[in-house]
Homo-oligomer: A and B are copies of this chain.
Amino acid sequence: MLNFELYTPTKVIFGKNTESQTGEIVKSYGAKKVLIHYGGESAKRSGLLNKICDALKTSQIEYALLGGVVPNPRLSKVNEGIELCSKENIDFILAVGGGSVIDSAKAIGYGVASGGNVWDFYEGTRSITACLPIGCVLTIAAAGSEMSNSSVITNEDGWLKRGSKSDLGRPRFTIMNPELTYTLPKYQTACGCVDILMHTMERYFNNTTMELTDHLSEALMRTVIMNSKILLTKPENYRARAEIMWASSISHNGLLGCGTDGGDWASHQIEHELGGLFDVAHGAGLAAIWGSWARYVYQENVERFAQFAANVFDIPCGSNLAEAALAGIEAMENFYRLIEMPVSIAEMGIHLTDEQIETLAYKCTFQNTRTVGIIKKLSLDDLANIYQMAKI
Contacts and interface: CB of A to CB of B under 8 A. Distances in A.
Interface of A: 1-9, 11-16, 18, 210-212, 215-216, 218-220, 222-223, 226-227, 238-239, 242-243, 246-247, 250, 255, 258-259
Given A211-B223, A215-B222, A243-B211, A12 B3 contact: no
Given A211-B226, A211-B243, A4 B9 contact: no
Nearest to A178: B1
B1 A5 contact: no
Contacts of A2: 15
A259 B15 CA distance: 9
Given A226-B211, A259-B246, A5 B9 contact: no
Given A4-B14, A6-B12, A212-B223, 4 more contacts: A5-B13, A211-B239, A215-B219, A218-B219
Q: Give the number of copies in the complex.
A: 2
Contacts of A247: 212
A231 to B, nearest CB: 13
A81 to B, nearest CB: 27
A302 to B, nearest CB: 21
Contacts of A246: 210, 212, 258-259
6 contacts: A5-B12, A5-B13, A7-B11, A210-B243, A210-B246, A211-B239
A260 to B, nearest CB: 12
A205 to B, nearest CB: 18
Given A216-B220, A219-B212, A18 B3 contact: yes
A390 B210 CA distance: 37
Contacts of A9: 8-9, 11
B4 A15 contact: yes
Contacts of A227: 211
A255 B220 CA distance: 13
Nearest to A258: B246
Q: Which 7 A-B pairs have the closest CB atoms?
A: A3-B15, A215-B219, A9-B9, A6-B12, A219-B219, A7-B11, A212-B223
A2 to B, nearest CB: 7
Given A212-B243, A218-B219, A12 B18 contact: no
Nearest to A177: B3
A264 B2 CA distance: 35
Contacts of A12: 4-7
B18 A14 contact: no
A9 B9 CA distance: 4
